[in-house]
Amino acid sequence: MNSTEKRKQVLVIGRFQPVCGNHVDMVEQAREYGEDLIVGIGRPNYARAREVLDAKGFLEYQVKNLFSYERTKELVEHAFAGEKGIAVVPIYDIFDPDNYASHVKNEAAKAGVHLDDCVLAGENFDTWKCFEGSGIEVRLVQDRTKYHATQIREEIYRTGKSEQLAAPLTPKEIKRVQDANYILGQESAHDMREAILKLGYEIID
């Protein structure tokens, strides 16, 4: 496939726990490679987040999935409602890299989606390796965001604000919320100002 040719489908895989700016940016880049957007929600079989005590009796957070597959699917469908031909499918983890690509195809087929003319767009090289020789090409998308779902999950769980912070949002709203969090997380007024400019906002003195 040359750089200008598009496949019928473009597949992106992520946990989307919750949908964040990194996911929005990944989908925007992925659209260059395929017409219909297929979103694979990875690891929906992970346990919900919970608190446990470690061996020394200290509180330890095991942050896994914040939301059920059904709730995550709702958030994804809302965030990318304007995308052409969007389909959302669960991709249960089998912890078997050699058979992961065929597993993804089978899971998609169970949901009525057949990956016949598909390219995978992602930033995870381990996932790339799983698709070598599978018939599904892989294309790199750049990690260009400051906030990722891993950090957001930790924050949501610690503050107990999962429903408030994971309300259905549009891609533009998701980016604005995360930009605000990034700016407010700076250590000084100077750093906040630099962050505002870096993100492309105008400062009116």
Same domain, 88 and 174: no
Same domain, 137 and 201: no
In a domain, 160, yes or no: yes
Same domain, 27 and 123: yes
> Is-contact 101 130, C-beta < 8 A?
yes
Which CATH number goes with the domain that contains 84? 3.40.50.620
| pLDDT higher than threshold 90 for residue 90 | yes
Q: What are phi and psi of 5, to 5 degrees?
A: -85, 135
- What is the number of domains present in the chain? 2
| pLDDT higher than threshold 70 for residue 40 | yes
| Residues 79-97, mean pLDDT to the nearest whole number | 87
The pLDDT of residue 172 is 67
145 burial type by CB count under 10 A (0-12 exposed, 13-18 middle, 19+ buried) = middle
Task: Please tell me whether residue 51 adopts helix, strand or coil conformation.
Answer: strand
The pLDDT of residue 150 is 75
Same domain, 139 and 75: yes
Same domain, 119 and 176: no
The pLDDT of residue 194 is 81
Same domain, 107 and 140: yes
- Judged by phi (left if over 0) then psi (alpha if -120 to 50, else beta), residue 160 lies in left
Q: Supply 126's token pair.
A: 């381990």
For the chain, helix (H) and strand (E) counts, in that order, are 8, 7
In a domain, 2, yes or no: no
In a domain, 1, yes or no: no
Task: State the pLDDT confidence band at 111, using cuts at 50, 70 and 90.
Answer: very high
The pLDDT of residue 36 is 93
Question: For the whole model, what pTM was predicted?
Answer: 0.72
In a domain, 146, yes or no: yes
In a domain, 42, yes or no: yes
Task: Please tell me whether residue 75 adopts helix, strand or coil conformation.
Answer: helix
Sequence letter at residue 44: P
Query: Between 109 and 23, where is the model more confident?
Result: 109
Among 83-87, 134-138, 185-189, name the most confident range: 134-138
Q: Which domain does 45 fall in, by range?
A: 7-166
Same domain, 44 and 129: yes
In a domain, 62, yes or no: yes
| CA proximity to 153, closest of 45, 37, 47, 56 | 47
